[in-house]
């Protein structure tokens, strides 16, 4: 599960990242609205922890709206310095899934996160007879399960979530690999080849097409030949 932390207090951001990392969440920290928009554009987040300070009356509300418009399956928990009831109502009406006041209780925060991810919107992708279930790392086509795991599965899933968009190798590396600077773009070609060998050819379909010099695009349904 991947979490984006948007919090002005750098110390709190680091503490949250450490806490969630200890519970097997993958975390990114956005130090500004620009950083947040960049991360949200290239990665698929299950949850955003959004800090709302006392001096930013509308920024957080605008961010919630943007997240829900562009990534409606992503849950948003607001962590706020604001103690008044009206702010909580505003945040929830803007689209937040939960609201917690600071100082945070770590145990309660973890339970709230678990609840939102357990009961939140499904990330299952369904396109005609193709079903991709990221949570269970499972692909089903025409009722039959396809054996595709690991990075090839993650590449396929990321492209499917950005259907009809061209995604570059660099974007795929940044979205999927924990330390993209330590691997070469060739790993993307290997993953794409495995998708085509294990899925496209046996099923006589095309799921991903190469866009020369630009990257790859999820194009299913598209029959071969």
Residue 48's contacts (CB-CB under 8 Å, 6 or more residues apart) are 3, 4, 5, 6, 40, 67, 74, 75, 76, 77
For the stretch 140-190, pLDDT in tens is 999 899 999 999 999 999 899 888 889 999 889 988 887 888 888 899 999
Question: Residue 104: its pLDDT value, please?
Answer: 94
Under the banding of pLDDT at 50, 70 and 90, the label for residue 224 is very low
- Is residue 191 within 8 A of residue 205, CB to CB? The reply is no
For the stretch 178-222, pLDDT in tens is 788 888 889 999 999 999 999 999 999 999 999 998 999 999 987
Residue 6's contacts (CB-CB under 8 Å, 6 or more residues apart) are 30, 36, 48, 49, 50, 51, 63
Quote the mean pLDDT of the chain.
87
Question: Residue 217: its pLDDT value, please?
Answer: 94
The token pair at 145 is 């399960």
Q: Hey, CA dihedral for 140, 206, 150, 3, is it positive or negative?
A: negative
Asked if the model's pLDDT at residue 122 lies above 50, the reply is yes
For the stretch 22-73, pLDDT in tens is 998 989 999 888 888 888 888 878 899 999 876 665 677 888 888 877 766 7
- Map out the domains of the chain with their CATH numbers: 2-119 (3.40.50.2300), 125-218 (1.10.10.10)
């Amino acid at each position: 599960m991947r979490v984006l932390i948007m919090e002005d207090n750098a110390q709190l951001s680091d503490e949250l990242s450490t806490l969630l990392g200890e519970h097997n969440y993958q975390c990114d920290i956005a130090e500004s609205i620009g950083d947040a928009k960049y991360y949200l554009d290239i990665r698929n987040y299950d949850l955003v922890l959004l800090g709302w300070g006392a001096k930013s009356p509308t920024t957080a509300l605008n961010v919630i709206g943007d997240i829900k418009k562009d990534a409606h399956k992503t849950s948003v928990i607001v962590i706020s310095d604001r103690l008044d009831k009206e702010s909580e109502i505003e945040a929830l009406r803007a689209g937040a899934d939960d609201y917690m006041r600071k100082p945070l209780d770590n145990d309660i925060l973890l339970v709230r996160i678990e609840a939102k991810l357990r009961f939140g919107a499904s990330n299952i992708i369904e396109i005609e007879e193709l079903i991709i279930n990221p949570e269970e790392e499972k692909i089903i086509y025409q009722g039959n399960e396809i054996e595709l795991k690991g990075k090839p599965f993650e590449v396929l899933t990321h492209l499917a979530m950005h259907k009809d968009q061209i995604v570059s190798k660099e974007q795929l590396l940044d979205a999927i690999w924990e330390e993209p600077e330590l691997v070469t773009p060739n790993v993307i070609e290997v993953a794409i080849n495995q998708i085509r060998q294990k899925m496209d050819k046996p099923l006589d379909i095309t799921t991903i097409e190469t866009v020369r010099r630009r990257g790859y695009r999820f194009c299913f349904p598209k029959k071969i030949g």
